[in-house]
Amino acid sequence: MKKILHKQEIEDIIVGATLLGAGGGGSPKTGLLLLKDISEVTLFDLEEIPDDSHIAVVAGMGSPVVLSRIGWKGEEITALEKLQEITGTKFDFVVPVETGGFNSVTPLHAGALKGLPVVDADGAGRAVPELQMTTFHTYGVSASPIVLADRSGNSAVLYASDTFKGERLARAVTAELGMQVGIACYTMTGKQLKTSAIPSALSIAENVGRTIRKAKENREDIAASVTRAVNGTLLAMGTVSKKIEEVKAGFDYGKVFVEDVVVDYKNENMIAWKDGKPIAMVPDLICWLRIDGEPLTNVEIQEGMEVAIIGIKAHEKWYTQNGFNVFKHVLKTIGYEGEYEPIDIH
């Protein structure tokens, strides 16, 4: 089944994807700015994609802090055009790399301007800080060639031996280009996409955004409505008493303290602690919702805010291939060296 997305549906996607971005995925404010270029976009279900079709991932890469400061000029389109040029492939579809208030709408923006349909799927079902932290990678799809482009006409093409190396090279180029680039990568066939992607990612985000909008209109308990809609659990609710943050090596790192829960992030939320013990961790989602119903990224979290922390179990494809392994090196730097512990949904 295919459907046409208009502005209201895309606005709901942006709002829902901001929550499901688990603290990252780009600013919804920037995502909403891209709407001015979009009248409508065609969205296809994952299972309807022909096996022999050609798909590319498009996204933004860099620091969410930088993105929120300088905005977006369509860098992903330059990267996509360059990827088509070097591969000699005319892509049939584009697909998001992750779920987030910016990176869910980036392929919608590219699709609208290039006349390409978008697949209702992505490679994470959440936002992730590194290129190999996707189900595309865990199911064996190569990210190379990787094209990066900035707003000034600079671009780079990377051929990496593996996606871990591709991530490090891409991050180095991103830092050189001002910490913000468009990226096009993970070229694959429809058959590969259907095997590796998280299905219905954009529809799920749209449903969450619509739930938030309706709950506001009906003056319902928004945190409770959202938690039910995502089959999640409320990890904490209260005031942000402290936030520690720094930008290093192209990433935003930090800690957020809410009541007796501490959330560690690297762009996205990686692990939540209570009484010194983990209560949720990647690949499961640790999501921010301001009490008035506004989903938040870690860039927007401020001390004194009243927030809810909602935990959501990741899609089963993360567990089939032991996707936890791609996050271990990040968790180690945060102070966790154990194995995956599932979130307690109750």
pLDDT digits (tens, 9 = 90+) for 100-138: 999 999 999 999 999 999 999 999 999 999 999 999 999
Poorest-confidence range of 31-35, 185-189, 255-259? 31-35
pLDDT at 298 over 90: yes
Distance of CA 331 to the CA centre of its chain: 18
The domains of the chain are located at 2-199, 221-334
Nearest-5° Cα angle at 127, 226 to 18: 40
pLDDT band at 66 (very low <50, low <70, confident <90, very high): confident
pLDDT computed for residue 346 by the predictor? 66
The whole-number average pLDDT for the span 81-106 is 97
The Cα–Cα gap between 182 and 109 comes to 12
The Cα–Cα gap between 6 and 8 comes to 6
Q: Residue 291 in contact with residue 306, Cβ under 8 Å?
A: yes
pLDDT computed for residue 69 by the predictor? 81
- pTM value? 0.95
SS3 45: strand
Residue with tokens 């923006």: 109
SS3 257: strand
Architecture of domain 2-199: 3-Layer(aba) Sandwich (3.40)
The Cα–Cα gap between 216 and 174 comes to 39
pLDDT computed for residue 322 by the predictor? 86
The Cα–Cα gap between 278 and 319 comes to 18
pLDDT band at 26 (very low <50, low <70, confident <90, very high): confident
Q: Residue 294 in contact with residue 263, Cβ under 8 Å?
A: no
Q: Which residue has the higher pLDDT, 153 or 19?
A: 19
Residues 6 or more apart in contact with residue 299 via CB below 8 angstroms: 27, 64, 65, 68, 252
pLDDT at 3 over 70: yes
pLDDT computed for residue 278 by the predictor? 96
